[in-house]
Amino acid sequence: MLSGLLHCGICQRRMIGSFNNGRNHYRCTYAAEYADANRIAHPRSVYVREDHILEQLDPWLARAFSPSRLTATVQAMADAQHDDVDQQAIRAARETLATCTTRLDRYRAALDSGADPTVVSRWIADVQAEQVTAEAALRRLTDAGP
């Protein structure tokens, strides 16, 4: 089930599927000369039973995709599709949008308390332009939006 997806926790190489003692396993065999050359304390072979992984994986997946966590899980999966530069740009765009919302709330409060509507309307226009730019950047980076 997990063929091609598991990596050895010691050497980070991809583990291969193996049928052993009537059960599916994943194994990593690392030649002793490579381990010595790379200064890795790696046993000759590492085996992991598939059923031991699946008994932990299934409940974890059920929690990750539960209705209360679904949005966060999907967002994390989408975010994982981007490199570090994209991640920083996505965070910056989201922070800009949050800041814009806060500023617009303050400007509305200023209007309610009697501030000059001409001045406040210019502030609002500036923030809305900033908001449109951040939303466009976020759409471009995530193919989704805010």
Strands (E), the chain: 16-20, 23-29, 45-49
Q: Does residue 111 surpass a pLDDT of 90? A: yes
Q: What is the rounded CA–CA span in Å between residue 145 and residue 136?
A: 8
Cβ neighbours around 42 below 10 Å, total:
19
Helix (H, G, I), strand (E, B) or coil at 44: coil
Q: What is the rounded CA–CA span in Å between residue 77 and residue 26?
A: 25
Tell me: the pLDDT tens digits for 82-103? 677 888 888 899 999 999 999 9
Q: Does residue 141 surpass a pLDDT of 60? A: yes
Residue with tokens 């951040």: 134
Q: Does residue 144 surpass a pLDDT of 60? A: no
pTM beyond 0.75, yes or no? no
